[in-house]
């Protein structure tokens, strides 16, 4: 079973307008509301890939109830830590080929709530069916930057592979730690550039030199996503270039989350290197062909899987 962690989930509300008029009334006919957050996107795609999934994290209030109801409708198991504080809404206004986003910060949580969630998470990991963990996205305000580091330590104590997809200070804390390394990290090229403090163009020799740095030691898999250029990956001492087919993308939003789902499903199946990378990138490609975030068409899987090219360097 794959456990997906979303610490700051949301209800993603999409308003479709022909034109956005500032300082006036805008009436919306087409509205969609989706249980959102990067980890929940991972949950949906992992389930569509055929994995048994359990979603967890922290939720609260009527928004939290809506998220759980929608997961029930999608037949995705969940076991969240419940807080009395309201979860957040994230609004996207689609207008004139533009997308304007209004993102709530979400609840401010306490040190006590962090400790209680860590107990909740530890209890989930007692289930011997847990095979892989994914942690995606940001932490809510109030939680310590080392929260993910603590969760990784719990997973390592149980010898459960863990995929981390985050950024900022929590990511830096994990990379600087010596005893709490995740199994997989999946930065995109922009996130890696920000982390290194320099612009990385995607040159393979430059990327190889970066990934040989001290902060990345002890991480089994590093998969750097590069959008339409595919990915560059390091597995222990081996390096890989991954090329994806040219496609007419409908929406790239959530493709990184779909890639994480593919990685997790491949880890669960104990796939060889090439198969893991092809499975991960196929899931990402399939998501770009859909208008809904965290959605793939499983019928197209084999067609695109065959077009992914993996070259060992």
232-275: pLDDT as tens digits: 999 999 999 999 999 888 888 888 999 999 999 999 999 999 99
Choosing from 159, 257, 273, 302, the catalytic residue is 257
| Contact (Cβ atoms closer than 8 angstroms) between residue 281 and residue 258 | no
The bridge status of strand 238-243 relative to strand 53-60 is: unpaired
What is the model's pTM? 0.94
Average pLDDT value for residue range 24-45 = 92
How does 272-306 read in b/e, with b if 16+ C-beta sit within 10 Å? ebeebbbbbbbbbbbbbbbebbbbbeeeebeebbe
CA 295, chain centre distance (Å): 13
pLDDT of residue 249: 83
- Asked whether residue 178 carries a pLDDT value surpassing 90, the answer given is no
Asked if 29 and 10 touch (Cβ cutoff 8 Å), the reply is: no
CA–CA dist 261, 280 (Å, integer): 7
Q: Which is more confidently placed, 277 or 294? A: 277
Q: What is the mean pLDDT of the chain?
A: 94
Rg (CA), the chain: 19
- The answer, yes or no, to whether residue 32 has pLDDT greater than 90, is no
How sure is the predictor about 99, in pLDDT bands with cuts at 50, 70 and 90? confident
pLDDT, tens digit, for every residue of 109-153? 999 999 999 999 999 999 999 999 999 999 999 999 999 999 999
The structural domains of the chain, ordered by start, are 2-312 (3.40.1190.20)
Rounded CA-CA distance 133/271 in Å is 16
Of 281, 103, 97, nearest in space to 188 by CA: 281
| Residues 65-85: tens digit of each pLDDT | 999 999 999 999 999 999 999
pLDDT at residue 101 is higher than 90: no
pLDDT for the residue 227: 85
| 257 tagged catalytic | yes
Q: What is the mean pLDDT of residues 303-310?
A: 96
């Amino acid at each position: 079973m794959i456990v997906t962690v979303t610490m700051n989930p949301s209800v993603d509300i999409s308003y479709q307008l022909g034109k956005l008029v500032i300082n006036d009334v805008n009436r919306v006919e087409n509205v969609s509301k989706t249980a959102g957050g990067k980890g929940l996107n991972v949950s949906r795609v992992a389930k569509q890939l055929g994995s048994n999934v359990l979603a967890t994290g922290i939720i609260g209030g009527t928004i939290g109830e809506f998220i759980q109801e929608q997961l029930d409708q999608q037949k995705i198991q969940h076991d969240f830590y419940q807080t009395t504080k309201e979860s957040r809404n994230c609004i996207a206004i689609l207008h004139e080929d533009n997308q304007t986003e209004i993102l709530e910060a979400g609840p401010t949580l306490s040190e006590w709530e962090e400790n209680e969630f860590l107990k909740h998470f530890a209890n989930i990991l007692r289930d011997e069916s847990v095979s892989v963990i994914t942690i995606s996205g940001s932490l809510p305000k109030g939680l310590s930057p080392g929260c993910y580091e603590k969760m990784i330590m719990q997973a390592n104590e149980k010898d459960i592979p863990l995929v981390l997809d985050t950024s900022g200070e929590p990511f830096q804390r994990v990379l600087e730690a010596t005893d709490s390394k995740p199994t997989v990290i999946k930065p995109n090229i922009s996130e890696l550039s920000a982390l290194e403090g320099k612009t990385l163009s995607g040159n393979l020799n430059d990327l190889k030199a970066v990934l040989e740095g001290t902060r990345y030691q002890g991480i089994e898999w590093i998969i750097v996503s590069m959008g339409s250029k595919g990915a560059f990956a390091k597995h222990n001492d081996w390096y890989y270039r991954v090329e994806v087919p040219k496609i007419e993308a409908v929406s790239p939003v959530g493709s990184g989350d779909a890639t994480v789902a593919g990685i997790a499903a491949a880890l669960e199946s104990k796939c060889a290197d090439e198969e893991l990378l092809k499975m991960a990138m196929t899931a990402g490609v399939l998501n770009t062909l859909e208008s809904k975030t965290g959605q793939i068409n499983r019928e197209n899987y084999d067609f695109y899987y065959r077009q992914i090219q993996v070259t060992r360097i």
